Amino acid sequence: MDDDVLIGDEEPGADADGVAAVAAANPRSILGDHGRAALRQLLGDDLRLDEPMRRHTTVKIGGPADGFAMPSTVERLVALVRWCAAGGVPITVVGGGSNLLVRDAGVRGVVLNTGRLRRIEVVDGTAIEVEAGVSTGKVLSLALKHGLGGIEFLGGVPGSVGGGLIMNAGTYLGEFKDVTAAVESVRLADGATVRRDNAECGFRYRDSDLPPTEVVVGARLELRPRPRAEIEVEVRSLRQRRAEREPKKVASNGSTFKNPPGDFAGRLIEAAGCKGWQVGDALCSPVHANWLVNVGAATCTDLLTLIERVRARVADVHGVMLQLEVKIIGDQAEPG
């Protein structure tokens, strides 16, 4: 089993010239010298200032975050949340960046990334307790090792557990709602811990009722014993299907639009003649029409323009208004 790579977990010195250039050109930062110093004292190496968000999304797009925080424990995360709440500093929560589009002007305040919350263990024989930053690939590998089934769908889901829970990620084999017993989160208003059972999470197709006013920090997944060989067959089949149908060696978020009821977004886009459409380096993939990809140095403006053109064409041709599967964050204003 392969382990998904955590986006943005490079050494702090990586891409130093690019980071310096972004920092020098980030007059929009709202933190100020005092706020920057206080955050440094609070988080140390768990913080990067004026961090290009393109380094933390699979589509490789995004302007600078004033502060990019990666707390290594839930306790440090709670301390950050309380500091931000006390000072009125806005927090934007992100996970593995596999379903995220960040505007070119970047994100004001603190971007809170859960990628370093990586505790995972099998408990009570058939359950997995996992923190939000653990990659979906690692969860699947642990389940396979212990002969636990029900989570085979993760073979087709990139990114981290936190983001997967919020959007109820899945494939034709299943989705998070099928295996999630409970979700634990931290309230951004005061740092209090909240625990919800499955019914309280409001899971539905590529969405949930997990509120944006909280940050998901972990979950309990209830699985069932299953022969390892059977699990491997299903996962191998899913991954082979993905390999045959999905673009390779391009930066992307995977599927851009949700499938409408009873149909497929990719089919509608292809039938509307949008395959191959391009705005700057943003391309409607000729391999899979629902993958709007970055083939070079696409900006968020490029991709958003392409998204709206595709959506308008599909609406004209089919009478269907496609809904985004990706999440968009960041300052509406253009940099400069």
The CA–CA distances, whole Å, from 24 to 17, 34, 89, 102, 151 equal 11, 18, 21, 19, 45
Q: Among this protein's residues, is 206 annotated catalytic?
A: yes
Q: Where are the beta strands (DSSP E) in the chain?
A: 47-52, 64-69, 91-94, 100-102, 107-113, 120-123, 127-131, 148-149, 170-171, 174-175, 180-187, 193-197, 214-222, 224-225, 278-279, 282-284, 292-294, 327-329
- Tokens (6 digits) for 289: 């029409």
Residues 124, 219, single domain; the answer is yes
pLDDT tops 50 at residue 191: yes
pLDDT tops 60 at residue 6: no
Instruction: Please indicate, yes or no, if residue 9 is contained in any of the structural domains.
Output: no
Residues 180, 99, single domain; the answer is no
- Can you give the pLDDT at residue 333? 67
Instruction: Please indicate, yes or no, if residue 281 is contained in any of the structural domains.
Output: yes
Which is catalytic among the residues 175, 255, 311, 313?
A: 255
Instruction: Please indicate, yes or no, if residue 237 is contained in any of the structural domains.
Output: no
Q: How far apart are CA 94 and CA 112, in angstroms?
A: 6
Instruction: Please indicate, yes or no, if residue 51 is contained in any of the structural domains.
Output: yes
Residues 129, 225, single domain; the answer is yes
Q: Which pTM value belongs to this model?
A: 0.85
Residues 127, 222, single domain; the answer is yes
> Which amino acid makes up residue 94?
V
Which is catalytic among the residues 206, 220, 311, 313?
A: 206
204: CATH: 3.30.465.10
DSSP-derived 3-state class of residue 304: helix
Give the domain range for residue 74: 16-113
Cβ within 8 Å of residue 326, ≥6 positions away = 99, 100, 101, 253, 256
Residues 289, 212, single domain; the answer is no
Instruction: Please indicate, yes or no, if residue 47 is contained in any of the structural domains.
Output: yes
Residues 221, 124, single domain; the answer is yes
Residues 141, 52, single domain; the answer is no
CB atoms within 10 A of CB 307: 21
| Higher local confidence (pLDDT), 143 or 332 | 143
Instruction: Please indicate, yes or no, if residue 323 is contained in any of the structural domains.
Output: yes
- Can you give the pLDDT at residue 98? 87
- Tokens (6 digits) for 37: 């110093």
Q: How far apart are CA 333 and CA 336, in angstroms?
A: 9
Q: How far apart are CA 202 and CA 65, in angstroms?
A: 30
Q: Among this protein's residues, is 325 annotated catalytic?
A: yes
| Higher local confidence (pLDDT), 71 or 26 | 71
Do the strands 107-113 and 224-225 form a parallel or antiparallel pair, or are they unpaired? unpaired
Under 8 Å between Cβ of 290 and 266: yes
- Can you give the pLDDT at residue 158? 85
Residues 173, 272, single domain; the answer is no
- For 182, phi then psi, to 5°, come to -155, 150
Residues 187, 276, single domain; the answer is no
Q: How far apart are CA 326 and CA 321, in angstroms?
A: 15
What integer is the mean pLDDT of 138-149?
A: 96
Angle at 259 between CA 177 and CA 296, to 5 degrees: 105
265: CATH: 3.90.78.10
- Tokens (6 digits) for 118: 């990586």
- Tokens (6 digits) for 285: 């993939």
What integer is the mean pLDDT of 94-118?
A: 95
Instruction: Please indicate, yes or no, if residue 77 is contained in any of the structural domains.
Output: yes
Of 95, 113, 131, the residue at which a domain comes to its end is: 113
Q: How far apart are CA 24 and CA 197, in angstroms?
A: 46
Under 8 Å between Cβ of 328 and 97: no
Instruction: Please indicate, yes or no, if residue 26 is contained in any of the structural domains.
Output: yes
Of 82, 113, 144, the residue at which a domain comes to its end is: 113
Q: How far apart are CA 74 and CA 79, in angstroms?
A: 9
Residues 105, 125, single domain; the answer is no
Nearest to 102 by CA among 132, 62, 144: 62
Residues 137, 208, single domain; the answer is yes
Domain count, the chain: 3
pLDDT tens digit sequence for 127-143: 999 999 999 999 999 99
pLDDT tops 70 at residue 226: yes
Under 8 Å between Cβ of 295 and 250: yes
User: Which residue's entry shows tokens 């999470």?
Assistant: 201
Which is catalytic among the residues 51, 131, 175, 325?
A: 325
What DSSP designation does 174 have?
E
Q: How far apart are CA 95 and CA 87, in angstroms?
A: 24
Cβ within 8 Å of residue 315, ≥6 positions away = 321, 322
Of 230, 261, 285, the residue at which a domain comes to its end is: 230
Residues 176, 88, single domain; the answer is no
- For 224, phi then psi, to 5°, come to -140, 150
33: CATH: 3.30.43.10
Q: Name which of 13-27, 215-229, 268-282, 309-323 the model is least confident about.
A: 13-27
